[in-house]
Structure 1
Amino acid sequence: MNKKTAAVIGTGVIGNGWIVRLLAHGYEVKAFDPAEGAEAKTKEAISKAWPSVQEMGLADNASPAAVTFYPTIEETVSGSVLIQENVPERTELKQKVLKDISRYADPDTIIGSSTSGIKPSVLQKGAVNPGRIIVAHPFNPVYLLPLVELVGGEHTDSPVIHRARTLYEDIGMKSMIIEKEIEGHVADRLMEALWREALHIVNDGIATTEEVDKAITYGAGLRWAQMGPFLTFHLAGGDQGMRHMLEQFGPALKLPWTKLEAPELTDELKEKVIAGCEQHAGDESIAELERKRNEFLVKLLDLVEDYWPEKKEVRA
């Protein structure tokens, strides 16, 4: 069976996550990263992640060795059916790299950016055939978490997004097509809202970092893994569902419970958060915590699919 070829530009945590996912689905990967030691770090990342993707299930022709680093962007992107850009989150740098990619990529190849916050219309500026440059924002660890937010820019038409959806679903992703571009897209904005509230709670001495994590782990998080916030509240309304929930609890939305702006990130708050996380983690290293996280996610994803199989396309 011939392998399809994909290119990954930028091989940090997210780039390497894409590489592992692509390899696990039987792709050959061409990689580029000018940073010293990048290739060695990628091989180490593949080695650490491979047991988890093996447990999830591999394509028949999957190989952890099917990745090759190239010295230039031009050599890397040539002949690739999908190109994923993952350079640091700086607008001018991303625009420059994407412009270079677009010069050398095959004319119709989809170019996805892993940006977590920049609008696609901004990324498209100055590029060749800019409409095929889209946001394809994943979540860490990319090789396990299947959600990808697909966002087109002002030059993007529907066929490009639908072609992109097919490509990403070929590597096991669940596509969330966002109809209107906004900074931060959708999922990160939801997570940031929770993060702001968490920082306020710690900053005001209401609860520790460990207690905040417990509130999510044993409360909302268990429900959200299956249904998300809307269906969770739909059930909270009893037999009448969301209609009753909004009538009963809607007025409370105007109460000043939440703090919409993030607290000032003072040295004192930083130390509270850092010390709390370090105390919570105890003697376990980051590597050990990652291993446990991966083991948990593999089991959880199986459970989610059993109880609430997602449709192929999710729109926002």
Structure 2
Amino acid sequence: MSKLLDPKVLMAIKELSLSAKMTIDGFMSGINKSTIKGGGLEFSQYRSYQPGDDLRSLDWKMFARSDRYYIRESEVETNIGVRILIDASASMNHSDGDFTKIQYAKYLGASLAYLANLQGDAIGLYVFQNSGIFSMTPKQDFQHLARLFYQLESINPDGEFTKPIHYKELFAGTQKRELLIFVTDLYQTNDEIIHLLDTLNTLRHEVVVFHVVSRNELDLDFKGYTTFEDLETGETIQIDQAKARTEYKTKLANYLEETRVKMLDRRIFYRTICTDEPLDQALRDFLKQRSKLRI
């Protein structure tokens, strides 16, 4: 499966739904639902009786055979709302080689949506761009997933990130705790993305942030370019890459560490993910976070 999880291979498959299916079917072979142990209909295992256990859970047939008390445990599904949040500001058009940050974000979002749907969770989509927020209310059915794939494919990054004044409309009336997966390059001018994350935290949602970066950003290697343009403001600057590289990398490392600490302080699961990085690690991180969630 490592070949299918290679971004270059995935992005050669133009149809997001097919790419997501191939990725998840291979990565999650044999795993098709999210469960916790408890009372339910599908048998999971026996365990020894402990003082305080519900006597109605005792298995009397096991007692007759073994003369010992056992509790019969079953699996119950933990269906939740999973919202995929995509940063569609112009900076996501940044490219490295054959593809852009937004392309990587689309394939990552599609794979995570397919996985969550496979586990029986309701899937929603939010796209942040300029002064608006495109939204799809979470639902759990295949037709809804197909519409989500279509909307992901239609994303065309432009302008700046959505202004904080619009955030209050995001989750009005939502009472249930949800899992929010935010794919962004964290390019911001006035901490508007941090403001968004603070808003989500006040609603007590579980938040996962995938910070998308490119290899040429990390290494300051733009193959001879000396003039750089801000994709959102249009401002330009000239840089001697060879002279600036050491100081740039130091400042970038400090910025990434400061960002990590900010997320940690907010109890947000955070990791950087490079656009040349196979998707399997991002998927593993999602599953790790998913296993911690208890509604």
Structure 1 length normalisation: TM-score? Answer: 0.26
Higher helix proportion (structure 1 or 2): 1
Higher strand proportion (structure 1 or 2): 2
Structure showing greater radius of gyration is 2
Structure 2 length normalisation: TM-score? Answer: 0.27
Q: Which has the higher contact order (CA 8 A, sep 6+)?
A: 2
